[in-house]
Amino acid sequence: MENKKFRTIKSEIRILGIDDGPFNPHHEGNVLLVGTIFRGGFWLDGVLTTYLEKDGTDATDQIIKMVNDSRHLGQLGVLMLDGITFGGFNVVNIQQIFEKTTVPVIVAMRKYPNFEKIKKALKNFPDWPERWKNVKKAGEVYPVDDSGQLFIQISGISLKDALEIVKLSTTRSNIPEPIRTAHIIAAGVETGESRGNA
């Protein structure tokens, strides 16, 4: 699929930010996934939730379903993911998410990924080659600026547009507000109280 073309990126572009809830290493069962729908980096319009299997392989499908089942689908300009692994090592395929939802994907990361470390961890799973394929499919990692505080990967959107949207929605911390808020909500639901930052 070709990249989505934005004539202009409005200050109130609808962004769905997605992050998972915290869990302890011995957690068994499903992990909460929260999506927050923002207009730009200031107005929260809605919250979506779903669950995925800890260390499973259903993150891609669960995100696609959450997006496609939402009444906000037609308004969404872009999806933002906090990394490409959720619920431990449930690795998403961002190309497939874009293809199945037609909504461009921006992955935001606070640090440049240590791919050797990720690969080593994935080798604990019998299906690690498939999981590693999803890591590779996420593509090149780009710095947002010279600060070294935020990096992105993209699917279905040009780097120029992605950088503009990330900067527009980063209003209260070093990370885009839709992801920051999703993290706070997920932490509050799972632990009873969030720490107020992300």
CATH number of the domain encompassing residue 114:
3.30.2170.10
- In this structure, is residue 106 part of a structural domain? yes
196 within a domain of the structure (yes/no): no
pLDDT of 195? 63
Residue 2 domain-assigned? no
Q: Does any domain span residue 8?
A: no
Does 60 have pLDDT greater than 90?
yes
Domain that holds residue 36: 14-190
Domains held by the chain: number: 1
Residue 196 banded pLDDT, cuts 50, 70, 90 = low
Asked if residue 198 is part of any domain, the answer here is: no
Is there a domain that residue 160 lies in? yes
Mean pLDDT of the chain, nearest integer:
93
In-domain check, residue 195:
no
Overall average pLDDT of the 66-73 stretch: 96
Could you tell me which residues come within 8 angstroms of residue 61 by beta carbon, excluding any fewer than 6 positions away?
Answer: none
Q: What percent of the chain has pLDDT over 70?
A: 95
Phi, psi of 43 (to 5 degrees): -115, 120
State how far the Cα of 68 lies from the Cα of 101, in Å rounded to an integer: 6
Sign of the CA dihedral running 164, 112, 38, 69: positive
Angle 84-152-165 from CA coordinates, rounded to 5°? 115
pLDDT of 189 reads 82
Q: How does pLDDT run across 76-95, given as a tens digit for each residue?
A: 999 999 999 999 999 999 99
Q: What is the pLDDT of residues 100-154, one digit of tens each?
A: 999 999 999 999 999 999 999 999 999 999 999 999 999 999 999 999 999 999 9
Does residue 178 lie within any of the structural domains? yes
Does residue 26 carry a pLDDT above 80? Answer: no
**HEC profile of 131-192:** HHHHHHHCCCCEECCCCCCCEEEEECCCHHHHHHHHHHHCCCCCCCHHHHHHHHHHHHHHHC
Compute the average pLDDT of residues 63-77. 96
